[in-house]
Amino acid sequence: MQANGWGRIINMASIYSHFATVNRIDYITTKTALLGLTRAVALECARTAITCNAVCPGTVLTPAIEWRLRQEMQRDGTTFEDAEASFLSIRQPSRRFVKDDDVAGLIAFLCGPHSGDINGAAFPIDGGWLAGR
């Protein structure tokens, strides 16, 4: 990037970069550290055309989350839709999973030519989760 005089660094953090919760020490520590790394690299690159930002998704329906929902279904005898509604009700005010395509779209924008002055930022994409905290 330095040789080319231009670049975009995007760190995949998490909404958990902004707050803590129990039983997630390892995850929260690493995701919070990514915000510090993002800010430090942004300052290192501030006088260049290289930027460094972080994307902080809320809950995306991944295989791991689907497994958790299926476990809840078995435990509580509920439908997938009920397990999903229960899971999201304490997280994302939108009551929907963040779409991976929306995360990709944000990353594409940050990698594009119109993001040259966005540097050292952390972008929540979380259905309003952080706003409600």
Query: Which sequence positions are flagged as catalytic?
Result: 27
Residue with tokens 């915000």, as numbered in its chain: 35
Report which secondary-structure segment, H or E, holds 72: helix 63-76
Whether 69 and 78 have beta carbons less than 8 Å apart is answered as no
What Cα–Cα distance (Å) separates residue 53 from each residue in 28, 83, 109, 118?
18, 34, 11, 8
Residue 64's H or E segment, with its range, is: helix 63-76
CA–CA distances in Å: residue 125 to residues 76, 91, 112, 118: 30, 13, 18, 16
Q: How far apart, in whole angstroms, are the C-alpha atoms of residue 51 and residue 103?
A: 18
